[in-house]
Amino acid sequence: MQSEAAIPVLSVRDLTVEFVTRRGTLRALDRVSFDVARGEVLGVVGESGAGKSVTGSAIIGLIDPPGRIAGGEVVLSGERIDNLPDEAMRKVRGRRIGMIFQDPLTSLNPLYRISEQLIETIRVHTDLSAAQARARAIALLDEVGIPAPERRIDSYPHEFSGGMRQRVVIALALCAEPDFIIADEPTTALDVSVQAQIIALIKRLCKERGTSVMLVTHDMGVIAETADRVAVMYAGRVAEIGPVRDVVKAPLHPYAKGLMGAIPSLEGEAKRLVQIPGTMPRLSAIPPGCAFNPRCAQVFARCHVEQPELIAVGDRRVACHLYDMPQSLHDASHGKPEIAA
Amino acid sequence: MLAYILRSLMQGLVVMLAVAFIAFSMFRFVGDPVVNMLGQEATLQDRAELTERLGLNDPVPLQFARFVGDAAQGDFGISYRQGRKVSSLILERLPATVELAVLSAIFAFVLGVALGVYAAIRRDGWIANLVMSLSLIGVSLPTFLIGIGLIYIFAVELRWLPSFGRGDTVALGWWTTGLLTASGLKSLIMPVLTLGFLQLTLIMRLVRSEMLEVMRADFIRFARARGIPERRIEFRHALRNTLIPVITIAGVQLGGVIAFAIVTETVFQWPGLGALFVNAVQFVDVPVMSAYLLFVAFVFVLTSLIVDLIYVALDPRLRSGNPAMAK
Ligand SMILES: Nc1ncnc2c1ncn2[C@@H]1O[C@H](COP(=O)(O)OP(=O)(O)OP(=O)(O)O)[C@@H](O)[C@H]1O
Ligand code: SF4
Ligand SMILES: [Mg+2]
C-alpha cells in the first residue's frame, strides 16, 4: 500500500479524446499520460492546438459534444473520476478540482455581484450559512489582494479592472478549497504589467494551501520560474515531461529543443514561442509514425512507421525513437544516431 | 442612469411630435373639415364663420401648436360622423382594447419565454422539436386565418365559446371590464389566443436562440467548472442574460399587439379601438383617425419607455452610468 503522500493528486492515464465531426473522427488527445504530485505545479506548454485546453476540459469533465473521452482514465487522489455520473462529477468540480479561465472579462456573470457569485459557489459546496459564506468570501478577496474587500464584494464585475477581475476569478476557483487547480493561460488576456503579479498570486495561494496546479502557458519564462515539472505537448500527445530544470535547460525531444531554443534571452521579457519551421499538422492530417516527423531535423526511417511511446529517460519521460535504443547510444543522442535511414 | 432615462424620454417626445404632425396633416389633406362638418348644402356665410371659429385662417404653425396643446389635454375635437367628443368615444372603447392587448401580451410573453427556455434546454428532445416546428406555422399563418379557424372549431363546431363581442361586462367607474363575468372571460379566450399567437411564436424562437447563445458563454462554462448545479446555471445565470436582449425586442413587438388588434377586433367584432378606427376610415372621420394614430404612437412610446426601465433594472452595467459598456 502506498502512503497517502505518495499517491499523486492527479493521475492521467492514456487519456484519449475524440471529436466526431462530419469529416470523420478527430483525435484531439492521443493516450496522454502524466501525474501531478501533491503541492506540485505542472507547467504545460506546446503550440496552439496541441491539446492543452482539451486536456484541462477532459480532466474536469467539461468536454462539450461532439467531443468525448474515448479512452484512458483520470484518477483524482486514487479515485477514478472520468466515469463518474454527472451529479457526482459536478460535486468534484469546484470542490476538488478548480479551474481558472483565460479571460476574466468573460468568465464572470455580468449581471450578478461578486458577492452573489462567491457566496453561491461556497454554499453549493459547504454547509455554511449565508453570513458565514459571506465572511469567508470577504476573507478570500482579501487574500487574493482586493483592497477594501468588505466594500468591494458588493460590486459588479464591470466595476473591476482586468487584473482585479482575474483575482476575483482566482478567489472563485479557490473558494471551496480544491486540491487541484487547472489554470489555462491565466494571464494571456491581461495587461503585461499585471501578468507577473497574477502568476505570483496563484503560486503563493497554492503553496500556502498545498494545492497542486496544472499551469498552461505560452510563456517559458513563467514556466521556468513557477513550475516544478513541465509537460511539452505536440499534436495531442505528450512529447516530453520532466523536472523543469532538465526539460527547459537540456530538452531531449527534438520538438522540445526547438521550443526551448525559442525562449527570448532578454531577461524578464515575456514573449510567445517563436515558431519552429513548419506548422503543426491539423488533427485530420497527422502523419503516421511520429507526429513531429515532417518537421524534425533528426528524423529517421523508424519515425515514419512507428509511433514513439513515452519512455523513461532518467527523471523524465520522452516520446522519441532517438531515446528508445541501447543505453550506449543515449549519451551520444544529441547528434544523429548511427542507425542508417 | 438618469441621463439614459432622460434620453429615452426625449426620444419618445420627438416621436410623439412627429406623429402628431402627421395626424395634424390629415385634417388638411383628407377632405375639407368645413365641408365635412357642415355638409354640402351649407351657405358660404356659414362656412366662413366655421372656418374662422376653427382657427383655420391662422398660420399653420399656430394651428399645429393649438392641435398639440389640445391633444395633450385629451381634446381631439368632435367626431364628424357621430357628433360626439372623440375623447369620450375613445374612453368608451379603450377598456375593451386594453384588456385584449394586455392579456395577449402576457400570454405571449409568459408562454413564449417558458417554451423558448424549454426548447433551449431540451434542445434535442422530440417535444422541443415539435414545439419549434409548430412555431414555424405560427410565424407564417396570417392572424385572421387563426381567428377564423378558432371560430370554426370552438364556436361553430364545438359551440364552447362565443364567436363575437365581449360578453357581459361590469362597469367600474368609467372602465368596463369583461374579466369579472364568466361570459366576459369566455369571450376573451379566442381573441387573446389569436392576437397573441404570432408574438408568442416570435418570442419563443428568440428566447431559444438567445439562450443557446448565452449557454455557450465563458461565464456559463466557469459556473459549470465551479460545480454550480445545471438547473441553477440555466435559470439563474443563463435566463437573466437571455432576457436582456429578448425584452428589448419583445417590448417592441408587444407594442405592435395594439396595432395588430385591428384585424383581431374585426374578426371577432370586438368593440375596441381597432374597430372604431376601421369604422372611422370607412366614413373618413378624420378626428377619430388622427386620435387613433396618436394613441397607437403613445402606446409604442410608452412600451419602449417601460422596456428601457426594465432594462436598467436588469442590467447593472447601465445603472452605473456607462450604457456603452452593456454592449
Ligand atoms: N469542439 C471542437 N470540435 C473539433 N475540434 C476541436 C474542438 N475543440 C478543440 N478541438 C481541437 O482540438 C485540438 C486541441 O485544441 P486545444 O484547444 O486543446 O489547443 P490548445 O493547446 O489549448 O491551443 P491554444 O494554445 O491555442 O489554446 C485542436 O486541434 C482543436 O482544433
Ligand atoms: S521520433 Fe523521430 S521524428 Fe519524432 S521527434 Fe524523435 S527523431 Fe524526430
Ligand atoms: Mg487553449
Q: Which of A259, A292, A338 to mutate to test the pocket of ligand 2 (most atoms within 8 A of CB)?
A: A292
Which residues in A lie closer than 8 A to residue B217 (C-beta atoms)? 106
Give me ligand 2 centre to Cα A295, in Å.
9
Write out the three cell numbers for A293: 516527423
Q: Which domain holds residue B49?
A: 31-73
Starting from the edge strand earliest in sequence, which strands make up the sheet with A67-76, in order? A24-36, A10-21, A67-76, A79-80
CB B161 within 8 A of CB B194: no
On whether residue B66 sits in a domain, the answer given is yes
Round to whole Å and give the CA distance between B263 and B268. Answer: 9
Which residues in B lie closer than 8 A to residue A92 (C-beta atoms)? 227
Are residues A94 and B221, on separate chains, in Cβ contact within 8 Å?
A: no
Query: So what's the pLDDT on residue A327?
Result: 52
- pLDDT of A184 > 90? The answer is yes
Tens digits of per-residue pLDDT, B156-210?
888 888 888 888 888 888 888 888 888 889 999 999 999 998 889 999 999 999 9
pLDDT above 90 coverage of chain B, percent: 35
pLDDT, mean of residues A225-232? 93
Give me ligand 3 centre to Cα A110, in Å.
23
pLDDT, mean of residues B291-299? 91
Write out the three cell numbers for B87: 375623447
Q: Which atom of ligand 2 is nearest to the CA of A253?
A: 5
Report residue B257's pLDDT band, with 50, 70 and 90 as the boundaries: confident
Judge if B66 and B101 occupy the same domain. Answer: no
Q: Which atom of ligand 2 is nearest to the CA of A302?
A: 2
On whether residue B188 sits in a domain, the answer given is yes
CA closest to A63 among chain B residues = B221
Nearest in space to A19 (alpha carbons), one of A74, A63, A85, A82? A63
On whether residue B25 sits in a domain, the answer given is no
Tens digits of per-residue pLDDT, A291-309?
998 888 888 889 999 999 9
Are residues A94 and B226, on separate chains, in Cβ contact within 8 Å?
A: yes
On whether residue B61 sits in a domain, the answer given is yes
Of B19, B49, B73, which residue constitutes the final position of a domain?
B73
Q: Which residue has the cell 399653420?
A: B60
> Domains of chain A: which residue ranges?
4-96+178-334, 97-177
Tens digits of per-residue pLDDT, B54-98?
777 888 888 899 889 988 888 888 888 888 899 999 999 999 999
How close does chain B come to A327, measured CA to CA in Å?
45
Write out the three cell numbers for A166: 482575474
Closest Cβ–Cβ partner in A111, A158, A173 for B240: A111
Confirm or reject contact between A115 and chain B (CB < 8 A): no
Of B20, B42, B73, which residue constitutes the final position of a domain?
B73
Mean residue pLDDT across chain B: 87
Q: How many domains does chain B have?
A: 2
ipTM, interface predicted TM-score of the complex = 0.86
Judge if B166 and B36 occupy the same domain. Answer: no
Confirm or reject contact between A103 and chain B (CB < 8 A): yes
The enclosing domain of B91 has a CATH number of 1.10.3720.10
On whether residue B6 sits in a domain, the answer given is no
CB A258 within 8 A of CB A276: yes
Judge if B156 and B244 occupy the same domain. Answer: yes
On whether residue B35 sits in a domain, the answer given is yes
Judge if B53 and B90 occupy the same domain. Answer: no
Q: Hey, how many other C-beta atoms are within 10 angstroms of the C-beta on B268?
A: 26
Judge if B41 and B112 occupy the same domain. Answer: no
Judge if B189 and B236 occupy the same domain. Answer: yes
Round to whole Å and give the CA distance between B109 and B127. Answer: 20
Binding-site residues, ligand 1, Cβ < 6 A: A 19, 21, 26, 28, 46, 48-54, 67, 283
Q: Which residue has the cell 551520444?
A: A332
pLDDT, mean of residues A183-191? 89
Of B10, B44, B73, which residue constitutes the final position of a domain?
B73
Give me ligand 1 centre to Cα A121, in Å.
28
Query: So what's the pLDDT on residue A328?
Result: 45
Round to whole Å and give the CA distance between B103 and B196. Answer: 8
Closest Cβ–Cβ partner in A86, A93, A101 for B218: A101
Closest Cβ–Cβ partner in A95, A124, A159 for B320: A159
pTM above 0.90, yes or no: no
Give me ligand 3 centre to Cα A240, in Å.
18
Nearest in space to B190 (alpha carbons), one of B141, B143, B150? B150
Which residues in B lie closer than 8 A to residue A169 (C-beta atoms)? 222
Looking at chain A, list the stretches that DSSP marks H as alpha helix, in order from N- to C-terminal side.
Answer: 52-60, 86-92, 104-107, 114-125, 130-143, 149-152, 162-174, 192-209, 220-226, 244-249, 254-261, 301-305, 327-330
Query: So what's the pLDDT on residue B146?
Result: 87
- pLDDT of A337 > 50? The answer is no
On whether residue B153 sits in a domain, the answer given is yes
Closest Cβ–Cβ partner in B217, B226, B316 for A106: B217
> What is A4-96+178-334's CATH topology?
Rossmann fold (3.40.50)
Confirm or reject contact between A161 and chain B (CB < 8 A): no
Q: Which atom of ligand 2 is nearest to the CA of A293?
A: 3
Give me ligand 2 centre to Cα A299, in Å.
5
CB A94 within 8 A of CB B227: yes
